[in-house]
C-alpha cells in the first residue's frame, strides 16, 4: 500500500503546483503541455482528482498504521 500512497502523493503535489501556477501567474501547465481541455488533459485532471480522493483515505489509516 505504501507504493500507492507515495504515487498518489506525488500526483497530488504536481496537481497543487499546477493550481499554484494558475493562481499566481494564470498559467495552466497541464493545458500548456496537453492542450486546453483535450481528452488527454482531462485524463490528467481526473488522475489528479482521484489521487486527491485516495489521499482522503489516508486520514483513516494514519492512526491504525503500525510504525516502520
Domain count of the fold of the chain: 1
Q: Model confidence at 1, in pLDDT bands (50, 70, 90)?
A: confident
In a domain, 33, yes or no: yes
The pTM (predicted TM-score) of the whole model is: 0.81
Residue 38 belongs to domain spanning: 2-62
- Kindly state the average pLDDT of the residues 22-39: 95
Question: Which conformational region is residue 21 in: left (phi greater than 0), alpha (psi within -120 to 50 degrees), or beta?
Answer: alpha
How many beta carbons lie within 10 A of that of residue 63, not counting itself? 6
**Using one digit for the tens of pLDDT, what is the confidence trace for 31-67?**
999 999 899 999 999 999 999 999 998 877 776 666 6
In a domain, 16, yes or no: yes
67 vs 22: CA distance, rounded Å = 38
pLDDT of residue 24: 97
In a domain, 6, yes or no: yes
In a domain, 67, yes or no: no
In a domain, 68, yes or no: no
Amino acid at each position: 500500500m505504501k507504493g500507492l500512497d507515495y504515487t498518489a502523493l506525488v500526483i497530488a503535489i504536481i496537481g497543487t503546483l499546477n493550481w499554484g501556477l494558475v493562481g499566481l501567474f494564470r498559467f495552466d501547465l497541464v493545458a500548456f503541455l496537453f492542450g486546453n481541455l483535450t481528452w488527454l488533459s482531462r485524463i490528467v485532471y481526473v488522475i489528479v482528482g482521484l489521487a486527491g480522493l485516495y489521499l482522503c483515505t489516508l486520514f483513516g489509516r494514519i492512526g491504525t498504521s503500525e510504525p516502520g
